[in-house]
Amino acid sequence: MKKIRIEGTDVSPQVILDIENNNFSIIGKSVVTEANTFYAPLIDWLEKSEKEFTKRIDFVFDLEYFNIYSSKRILFILYKLSDLKKSGVDVQVIWHFSLEDDDMKEVGEDFACMVNLPFEFISNTMHAEYA
């Protein structure tokens, strides 16, 4: 399956879906207004790649912020990962959050309760601009 690599912008996250290098991540900010259009190819890729996964998947979410439209699509991705797990793929979600942003951790915990996947929560410290 061909890998997906999307460079991040001010409104959309960087996305890497790469089976060959076992690299799966969504990083940055997701405030896209057309979230269905942005996330549909990612969800479709996960559906079509099911038979290709041979190693454990650590799917990294390192989002500093996302809007409600994006949150629905992120949840759909988590449901697809849950489907992969049910089919025998070893899947774990790595959910990054800033120590200064309890909301992002809580959202990850809420998502973890909604899907049948193991989550690992990793706290990031914000980089001081004035050191």
pLDDT at position 130 is: 39
Q: Which CATH class is domain 4-124?
A: alpha beta
Residue with more model confidence, 102 or 58: 58
Alpha helices in the chain (DSSP H): 35-48, 68-86, 102-114
Instruction: Specify the pairing of strand 119-124 against strand 91-98.
Output: parallel
pLDDT for 77 = 98
* In the chain, where the domains are located: 4-124
pLDDT score of 60 more than 60: yes
Residues facing 128 on adjacent strands? none
Q: Is the pTM of this model over 0.85?
A: yes
Sign of CA dihedral 117, 62, 44, 18: negative
Q: Distance of CA 34 to CAs 38, 56, 103, Å?
A: 6, 31, 23
Mean local confidence (pLDDT), 83-90: 93
